[in-house]
Amino acid sequence: MVDAVMRRAQDAFFEYKKITATNRSLFLENIAGAIEHIREDAVAIAHKETNLPLARLNGELTRTTSQLKLFANLLREGSWVEASIDTKDAASPAKPDLRKMLAPMGPVIVFGASNFPFAFSTAGGDTASALAAGCSVVVKGHSAHAQTSQLIFGAMKKASDVSGMPAYTVQHVMGSGSTVGRELVEHPYAKGVGFTGSFAGGRALVEYSQRREQPIPVFAEMSSINPVVFYPDTLSKNAAALAGVYAGSITLGVGQFCTNPGILFGIRGEGFEKFLDLLGEELSKVQPQKMLHSGICASYQKGVGNMLSQQGLKVLSRSAGVVVGEAEVGLDAAAVLAVVSGEEFLRNPQLTEEVFGPYSLAVVCADRAELLQALQGLKGQLTSTIMATESDRAEYGDVIEAQHNLAGRIILNMPPTGVEVNASMVHGGPYPATTDARFTSVGTTAIKRWVRPVCLQNFTDGMLPDALKNSNPLGIMRLVNNLYTREAIQ
Amino acid sequence: MVDAVMRRAQDAFFEYKKITATNRSLFLENIAGAIEHIREDAVAIAHKETNLPLARLNGELTRTTSQLKLFANLLREGSWVEASIDTKDAASPAKPDLRKMLAPMGPVIVFGASNFPFAFSTAGGDTASALAAGCSVVVKGHSAHAQTSQLIFGAMKKASDVSGMPAYTVQHVMGSGSTVGRELVEHPYAKGVGFTGSFAGGRALVEYSQRREQPIPVFAEMSSINPVVFYPDTLSKNAAALAGVYAGSITLGVGQFCTNPGILFGIRGEGFEKFLDLLGEELSKVQPQKMLHSGICASYQKGVGNMLSQQGLKVLSRSAGVVVGEAEVGLDAAAVLAVVSGEEFLRNPQLTEEVFGPYSLAVVCADRAELLQALQGLKGQLTSTIMATESDRAEYGDVIEAQHNLAGRIILNMPPTGVEVNASMVHGGPYPATTDARFTSVGTTAIKRWVRPVCLQNFTDGMLPDALKNSNPLGIMRLVNNLYTREAIQ
């Protein structure tokens, strides 16, 4: 089955990559329209499959269609191909005319994510960016929202037909990651992989890809605990407000966001203590909510249980309802705030593991040196958040610098949850946050994951693609003899 | 030893990345000046170590200093950091200000290449691009030109001190790839690797890097046979001229170029036959030349011997002098042109292996379909060359399209040897030509291998680096709210 799918994906790729950018734009907009058309059904089914609230799902669907339109606009503007031209130089006649642009790599495998049934799944950011790049796409739908995935795929297929795209430009398969998923990644025609999920899942895909005769890039977003440092002056001034904001951030979406703040650092003292008390109080008021599915909920309970069994770790607060360790687990998850000393934290690397859900660990450091050491020992992260006044920033420059080295996105005085989709976003970061810190999976530059530069040497103008022709018929920004310009070449 | 080196590289990195782009420019220019200062000695020693002619070495040294100056200019201009800014939007007050730019990854390990003692070694393209990016560099010198490497490193060190760079911004170690090289790549502080050499060497580095707790990118340029297709009409018109050009290209630098044309395709007929006769004649006149060292020469002789033992393969021509299989091999290498039918070529994948040196295989295809099949079966290449008139191009569109999918650089009517160093060059290509088709190792965009994007969210203007400040003090091209501009933000 997989072989037939990949042969069709390969055939479709060779046709699809010839489609003009304008027509690819229309295709993406048609997908957005087709999804909008089935909004009510899609949201209802996703709600049934994932327990996510209707309002959140409606918002997520809007984000999904917005992403598609964003890439459509990127294609229309056109400069994203990084056209670069060095014309012949009269002074050095031996030097040839060289022109370079980005070109699509080939069929891309996209794995649906459990926590975003729309925005990171079937027609989500990976698919939208790969289609925008000119790659055919095979979606491996996520079993936790199989019906939603099938429904969204139906809309994409319809849009593909209406837009006159090659048959099989997008395909959809279901099955387990370790069988069907593996076969897809191992297939010689696959040229790239997008994945958002667990560390184990991402690692497995990387290993499949590395065992191929031709290894291919795997963009896996895997694991991040999103450290937040609360500096003393802001704690002394804003403790109550910060407690409210962070109680919301920790429990947003039942903690099922990649950017959930899983670790909160501060220096021992009245300020941090008071803040943690207030945060605990806020969290205790949060109503338990249903997680995505029983597997995730069981993992959460197990993860929290494991943390609470670690030496020196104490529970500071727990939201009402479910008690960890109860026989009947169900789907409801209580938010848990635990606390540990910096000394203990430095001793026990297990405390840096991600617990996916509304769990957060406060690390009380003895002093600035211990805080610095704790930060320097962290692995790569998606985000690193600085909660600090101007006076904090003046005093803690070295600690803030250490925060800069940790992540793809550095945030000042806002919680890490909340990911804008635009040209400046980086949703990525050093391993193990992702497998490739050089790219982002959110925002327009996500398209760069599915392309490679190709240089055309000594071509006649007629043989060049529009992006590289002398007349610049697309009117795009190009680097011509080292100058940025939209002008034609005379 | 390696641990001490890497600790120093890490400390240097944290200081060096704070150095302004202007001062990094001066540093690169000072390296160029220091190398120019020792030109005579460096060329003489390299000549002794590598057997490369003095004229070639002088040219290569000039290329090396030019590369350094090219990166210095790139830093002065500054727009390479891909600054992108999305300011707060009055219509959506919840959306934060987001600003993104490229930032250096950390200490980089550069392996010297045997075939370019200057341009791809100690102060070569990998080192120049990594230093330009803001990374500290540890060079693992190549044993085949250890003295040259040491001498060039001395010049770099001097330039580093004169320029006031942090101590240990560049370091130099010698030793075997499988011991010292491996320890360097496996060290937790190493964040990227540059390598040009054999497939086996590149694969080993990738495997070391993948076994790390945090895998890191390895940019290995490994193996390419650089297919050239000679189309019928150009053969009927230009056979004699083409034979002269290709005899030169096959034997340039004793065939020791990554872009050496190792495989020549054509369709059976009078035109291709006549061309091959003429090419054979030209090659037979070429004087044997000394290869880089006895190991490379022995590998060449063995590689040719292995090819000649393959079924259906015949020698068409061999330059005077050494005969393969003679007891005394020495350093002189005869150019060898062999020929095989397309049918046999399709049957025997061994015929696509690289033989590093002045060996080339002509593949005589029965017809267009066989030619297309042969091209589609090739692995990834650095270059793919189209020798074709306008009439050929009109007739063989599908074959030419297949040529486009093979490589990082597609060339029309020029031989593949000769690599310009500028913004539009791609010296890279699908695996196994390189380990990462998304990057080039030659030209200014080689700098992109050593950086990752970092997004700063909700920062005050005073906290932002110059590239992202409202006033745009560097005057660089930026993407501000989706528009390219050098203007300040009001």
pLDDT tens-digit readout, A37-59: 999 999 999 999 999 999 999 99
B365 is catalytic: no
Which amino acid is residue B428, in one-letter code? G
How confident is the model over A268-283, as pLDDT tens digits?
999 999 999 999 999 9
Q: Which positions in chain A touch B407 (Cβ < 8 Å)?
A: 454
How confident is the model over A367-401, as pLDDT tens digits?
999 999 999 999 999 999 999 999 999 999 999 99
User: How far, rounded to the nearest angstrom, does the alpha carbon of residue B226 sit from its chain's CA centroid?
Assistant: 13
Question: How much helix, strand and coil, in percent to the nearest 5, is found in chain B?
Answer: 45, 20, 35
Looking at the partner chain, which of B408, B459, B460 has a beta carbon nearest the beta carbon of A454?
Answer: B408
- Interface check for A469 against chain B (CB to CB < 8 A): the answer is no
> With an 8 Å Cβ cutoff, are A420 and B86 in contact?
yes
Please say whether the beta carbons of B194 and B163 come within 8 A: no
pLDDT score at A331: 78
How confident is the model over B102-124, as pLDDT tens digits?
999 999 999 999 999 999 999 99
Looking at the partner chain, which of B420, B452, B482 has a beta carbon nearest the beta carbon of A437?
Answer: B452
> With an 8 Å Cβ cutoff, are A457 and B431 in contact?
no
B15-20, long-range: CB within 8 Å, 24+ apart, which pairs?
B15/B166, B15/B169, B16/B134, B16/B135, B16/B136, B16/B165, B16/B166, B16/B169, B17/B103, B17/B104, B17/B134, B17/B135, B19/B134, B19/B165, B19/B166
Q: Which of 115-134 (A) contact B at CB < 8 A?
A: none
Residue of chain B whose alpha carbon sits nearest to that of A452: B438
pLDDT score at A236: 98
How confident is the model over B165-191, as pLDDT tens digits?
999 999 999 999 889 999 999 999 999
Which residue of B63, B218, B405, B455 to mutate against A (max A Cβ within 10 Å)?
Answer: B455
Which residue of A92, A208, A438 to mutate against B (max B Cβ within 10 Å)?
Answer: A438
> With an 8 Å Cβ cutoff, are A410 and B457 in contact?
yes
Whether the pLDDT of residue A319 is over 70: the answer is yes
Residue of chain A whose alpha carbon sits nearest to that of B452: A438
Options A29, A49, A135, A258, the catalytic residue: A258
Helix crossing, B397-404 with B368-376: angle to 10°?
10
pLDDT score at B102: 98
Tell me how close the Cα of A348 comes to any Cα of chain B, in angstroms.
17
How confident is the model over A396-434, as pLDDT tens digits?
999 999 999 999 999 999 999 989 999 999 999 999 999
> With an 8 Å Cβ cutoff, are A98 and B420 in contact?
yes
- Interface check for B458 against chain A (CB to CB < 8 A): the answer is yes
pLDDT score at A89: 87
Residue of chain B whose alpha carbon sits nearest to that of A462: B390
- Residue A134's beta-bridge partner residues? none
Whether the pLDDT of residue A325 is over 80: the answer is no
Looking at chain A, the whole-number percentage of residues with pLDDT higher than 70 is 98
Residue A328: band (very low, low, confident or very high) from pLDDT cuts 50, 70, 90:
very low
Q: Which of 190-249 (A) contact B at CB < 8 A?
A: 206, 210, 214-215, 217
Q: Which of 270-329 (A) contact B at CB < 8 A?
A: none
Between the CA of residue A250 and those of A28, A417, B34, B341, B372, what are the distances in Å? 34, 8, 56, 67, 58
Region B12-34: mean pLDDT is 97
Please say whether the beta carbons of B195 and B111 come within 8 A: yes
Options B258, B282, B354, B370, the catalytic residue: B258
Paired sense of beta strands A381-387 and A407-412, if any: parallel
pLDDT score at B264: 98
> With an 8 Å Cβ cutoff, are A438 and B454 in contact?
no
Tell me how close the Cα of B27 comes to any Cα of chain A, in angstroms.
22
3-state secondary structure of A287: coil
Residue A287: band (very low, low, confident or very high) from pLDDT cuts 50, 70, 90:
confident
- Interface check for A18 against chain B (CB to CB < 8 A): the answer is no
Residue A157: band (very low, low, confident or very high) from pLDDT cuts 50, 70, 90:
very high
3-state secondary structure of A351: helix
Options A29, A60, A221, A354, the catalytic residue: A221
Q: Which residues touch B389 (CB under 8 Å, ≥6 apart)?
A: B231, B233, B234, B237
Whether the pLDDT of residue B251 is over 50: the answer is yes
Residue of chain B whose alpha carbon sits nearest to that of A440: B453
Q: Which of 96-115 (A) contact B at CB < 8 A?
A: 96, 98-100, 105
Region B75-90: mean pLDDT is 96
Q: Which positions in chain B touch A433 (Cβ < 8 Å)?
A: none
Region A238-254: mean pLDDT is 96
- Domains defined for chain A, CATH in brackets: 2-222+436-452 (3.40.605.10), 227-412 (3.40.309.10)
Tell me how close the Cα of A150 comes to any Cα of chain B, in angstroms.
32
How confident is the model over B296-345, as pLDDT tens digits?
999 999 999 999 999 999 999 988 765 555 444 567 889 999 999 999 99
Q: Which of 373-402 (B) contact A at CB < 8 A?
A: 379-380, 390, 393
Region B82-105: mean pLDDT is 94
Q: Which positions in chain A touch B460 (Cβ < 8 Å)?
A: 390, 412
DSSP string of A413-442?
Answer: SS-S-----STT-----TTTTBS-TT--SS
Residue of chain B whose alpha carbon sits nearest to that of A218: B436
Whether the pLDDT of residue B413 is over 90: the answer is yes
Looking at the partner chain, which of A432, A452, A484 has a beta carbon nearest the beta carbon of B477?
Answer: A484
Looking at the partner chain, which of B430, B463, B479 has a beta carbon nearest the beta carbon of A423?
Answer: B479
pLDDT score at A323: 53
Looking at the partner chain, which of B84, B96, B477 has a beta carbon nearest the beta carbon of A414?
Answer: B96
Q: Which residues touch B394 (CB under 8 Å, ≥6 apart)?
A: none
As given in the structure block, the two tokens for residue B16 are 């060096």
pLDDT score at A294: 86
Please say whether the beta carbons of B63 and B427 come within 8 A: no
> With an 8 Å Cβ cutoff, are B420 and A379 in contact?
no
How confident is the model over B303-312, as pLDDT tens digits?
999 999 999 9
- Interface check for B438 against chain A (CB to CB < 8 A): the answer is yes
pLDDT score at A322: 59
Whether the pLDDT of residue A88 is over 60: the answer is yes
Tell me how close the Cα of B396 comes to any Cα of chain A, in angstroms.
13
Looking at the partner chain, which of B424, B431, B452 has a beta carbon nearest the beta carbon of A215?
Answer: B431
Tell me how close the Cα of A328 comes to any Cα of chain B, in angstroms.
37
- Interface check for A369 against chain B (CB to CB < 8 A): the answer is no
- Interface check for B477 against chain A (CB to CB < 8 A): the answer is yes
pLDDT score at B327: 40
Mean pLDDT of chain B: 95
Region A166-178: mean pLDDT is 95
> With an 8 Å Cβ cutoff, are A98 and B422 in contact?
yes
Looking at the partner chain, which of A79, A86, A457 has a beta carbon nearest the beta carbon of B423?
Answer: A86
- Residue closest to B382 by CA, chosen among B319, B337, B441, B463: B441
Tell me how close the Cα of B384 comes to any Cα of chain A, in angstroms.
10
Which residue of A203, A424, A456, A459 to mutate against B (max B Cβ within 10 Å)?
Answer: A424
CA distance A53 to A319: 19
How confident is the model over B43-77, as pLDDT tens digits?
999 999 999 999 999 999 999 999 999 999 999 99
pLDDT score at B324: 53
Do the interacting molecules here have an ipTM over 0.90?
yes
CA distance B96 to B459: 9
Region B87-93: mean pLDDT is 89
pLDDT score at B397: 96
pLDDT score at B321: 61
Classify each residue of B120-151 as buried b or exposed e, where b means 16 or more C-beta atoms within 10 Å of its C-beta: bbbbbbbbbbbbbbbbbbbbbbbbbbeebbeb
How confident is the model over B378-388, as pLDDT tens digits?
999 999 999 99
Q: Which of 334-363 (A) contact B at CB < 8 A?
A: none
- Residue closest to A153 by CA, chosen among A164, A138, A165, A166: A138
Whether the pLDDT of residue A327 is over 70: the answer is no
B221 is catalytic: yes
Q: Which positions in chain A touch B426 (Cβ < 8 Å)?
A: 100, 453-455
pLDDT score at B328: 44
- Residue closest to B420 by CA, chosen among B442, B387, B447: B442
Whether the pLDDT of residue B248 is over 80: the answer is yes
- Residue A98's beta-bridge partner residues? A86, A457
